[in-house]
């Protein structure tokens, strides 16, 4: 009897202990949650202050939440801003995506606002800030393709500017994957333009060079989207302004890098484009169209909502730190989207300090270790152009000849 009572008591105290432990762990969890919430609030406040100081004191600010909307259900959820069914179909069946990533889920609703007519009070230029690799490209590719398909606008309606040729190629690849019939995407082959400047040439099947028409204007009439670097665009723009009169979208990817470039004055180009489109589309008559008049394109007409405006979508992983440059872009009713990740990303950084003579050996070892089957992409940065060429030649020879021989032996 005594033994049974003892067992009962022991069991009871075990249960009490367990319940105490559970209570303690619940309290700890709640405390941790409260701490995280307070931290998130502090970060939000800091971000909002930064945006107001850098972009505009009265811009609309929208936080990207971690919501991911199923692509297949978008049109039933977002009835006012549906996406063309062709695009939905490609995203699901060709890209094999099931959900829109958070920054896409939040921003698409706004970038598709043109569907509610130009009078939608929510319309405005957009700045999308989201960490690298979280799907910013589709945030603008979907709305421009949707515009093309839904409005049947076969004119030259969109310019996409990037800081590098590499990004031009990447964006071109994404748009081409949608496989839209008759849509003509192009890059710049400046040989054919009325400009005194010289450019590097880039190879692209759809290059303007292949056009068999005589003037730049005619050449552009046959295109829908131009994807190019800011440097090339700046040179092209001043000699060919008429081409851009009917533009609907201006996308600037990695805008922080572009604004930080000393050799490109993107502000003047963007303001000039904005004014040009407004004058044309709203039938506003200006006496002067000289380049000088563009530098102060921020005049009073931007205070009032124009019937048509050049929709600008700017994207970057961080907000541009040079606030005066961003402020002088004179965005129309800007909406700023920011995305703060609430989890640590799976990055690993290693720093190896090596003797010069050991570098090549170690690099080969590292490549073999990281991608033993050669199926992973590895990005190698070098400090000079010369090293890039040398390394390219060396690795090509090593992996195509030396390694093959070693394997054979």
Map the footprint of ligand ATP across residues 30-69, applying CB under 6 A. Answer: none
Find the shortest distance in angstroms from Cβ 319 to ligand ATP: 14
- Decide if residue 178 touches ligand ATP (CB under 6 A): no
* Position among 74, 100, 157, 220 found at the interface with ligand ATP (CB under 6 A): 100
Distance, in Å, from the CA atom of 296 to the CA atom of 298, rounded to the nearest integer, reads 5
What 8-state DSSP symbol labels residue 252? Answer: E
Residue span binding ligand ATP (CB under 6 A) among the ranges 94-102, 320-328, 351-359, 387-395: 94-102
Kindly tell me which residue out of 135, 192, 301, 367 binds ligand ATP, with binding defined by CB under 6 A: 135
Among residues 101, 126, 149, 175, which is the contact residue for ligand ATP, using CB under 6 A? 101
Q: Which tokens belong to 397?
A: 């020879």
Q: The dihedral of CA 3, 6, 12, 17: what is its sign?
A: negative
CB 191 to ligand ATP: min, Å:
29
Q: What SS3 state is found at 124? A: coil
| 261: contact with ligand ATP by CB under 6 A | no
For CA atoms 371, 375, 380, 386, the dihedral sign is positive
Q: Answer whether 169's CB lies under 8 Å from 234's CB.
A: no
Hey, what are 383's tokens? Answer: 């400090």
Least CB distance from residue 286 to ligand ATP, whole Å? 37
**Which residues on neighbouring strands pair with residue 226, listed in sequence order?**
159, 186
∠ Cα 279 273 169 (to 5°): 145
Is 111 a residue that touches ligand ATP (CB under 6 A)? Answer: no
How far apart CA 190 and CA 360 sit, in angstroms, is: 38
What's the Rg (C-alpha) of the chain? 27
Nearer to ligand ATP, 100 or 114 (CB): 100
- 97 part of the interface to ligand ATP, by CB under 6 A: yes
Among 138, 251, 255, 276, interactor with ligand ATP by CB under 6 A: 138
Instruction: Please report how close the Cβ of residue 394 comes to ligand ATP at its closest, in angstroms.
Output: 28
Which tokens go with 29?
């969890």
Q: Which region, judged by CB under 6 A, interacts with ligand ATP, from 6-14, 81-89, 130-138, 390-398? A: 130-138
228's tokens: 């190019």
Cβ-closest position to ligand ATP: 137
Half-sphere exposure of 216 (CA within 13 A, CB side): 17
Site for ligand ATP in 288-327 (CB under 6 A): 317
Residues making contact with ligand ATP (CB under 6 A): 97, 100-101, 104, 130, 132-138, 317
């Amino acid at each position: 009897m005594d033994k049974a009572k003892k067992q009962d008591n022991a069991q009871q105290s075990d249960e009490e202990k367990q319940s105490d432990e559970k209570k303690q762990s619940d309290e700890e969890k709640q405390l941790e949650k409260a701490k995280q919430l307070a931290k998130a609030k502090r970060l939000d406040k800091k971000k909002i202050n930064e945006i107001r100081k850098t972009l505009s004191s009265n811009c609309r600010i929208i936080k990207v939440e971690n919501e991911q909307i199923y692509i297949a259900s978008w049109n039933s959820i977002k009835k006012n801003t549906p996406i063309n069914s062709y695009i939905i179909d490609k995203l699901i069946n060709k890209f094999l995506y099931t959900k829109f990533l958070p920054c896409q889920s939040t921003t698409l609703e706004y970038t598709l606002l043109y569907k509610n007519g130009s009078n939608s009070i929510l319309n405005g230029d957009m700045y999308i800030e989201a960490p690298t690799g979280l799907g910013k490209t589709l945030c603008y590719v979907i709305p421009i393709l949707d515009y093309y398909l839904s409005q049947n606008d076969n004119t030259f309606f969109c310019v996409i500017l990037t800081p590098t040729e590499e990004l031009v190629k990447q964006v071109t690849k994404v748009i081409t994957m949608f496989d839209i019939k008759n849509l003509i995407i192009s890059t710049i082959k400046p040989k054919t333009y009325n400009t005194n400047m010289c450019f590097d040439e880039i190879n692209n099947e759809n290059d303007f060079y292949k056009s068999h028409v005589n003037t730049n204007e005619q050449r552009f009439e046959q295109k829908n989207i131009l994807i190019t670097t800011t440097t090339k665009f700046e040179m092209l723009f001043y000699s060919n302004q008429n081409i851009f009169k009917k533009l609907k979208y201006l996308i600037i990817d990695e805008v922080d890098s572009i604004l930080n470039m000393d050799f490109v004055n993107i502000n003047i180009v963007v303001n000039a484009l904005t004014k040009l489109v407004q004058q044309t589309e709203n039938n506003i008559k200006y006496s002067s169209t000289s380049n000088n008049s563009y530098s102060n394109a921020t005049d009073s007409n931007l205070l009032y909502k124009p019937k048509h405006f050049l929709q600008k979508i700017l994207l970057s992983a961080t907000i541009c730190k040079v606030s005066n440059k961003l402020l002088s872009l004179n965005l129309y009713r800007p909406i700023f989207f920011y995305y703060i990740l609430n989890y640590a990303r799976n990055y690993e950084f290693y720093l190896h300090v090596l003797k010069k003579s050991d570098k090549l050996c170690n690099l080969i070892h590292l490549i073999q270790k990281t991608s033993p089957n050669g199926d992973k992409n590895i990005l190698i940065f070098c400090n000079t152009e010369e090293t890039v060429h040398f390394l390219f030649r060396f690795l090509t020879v090593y992996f195509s000849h030396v390694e093959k021989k070693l394997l054979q032996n």
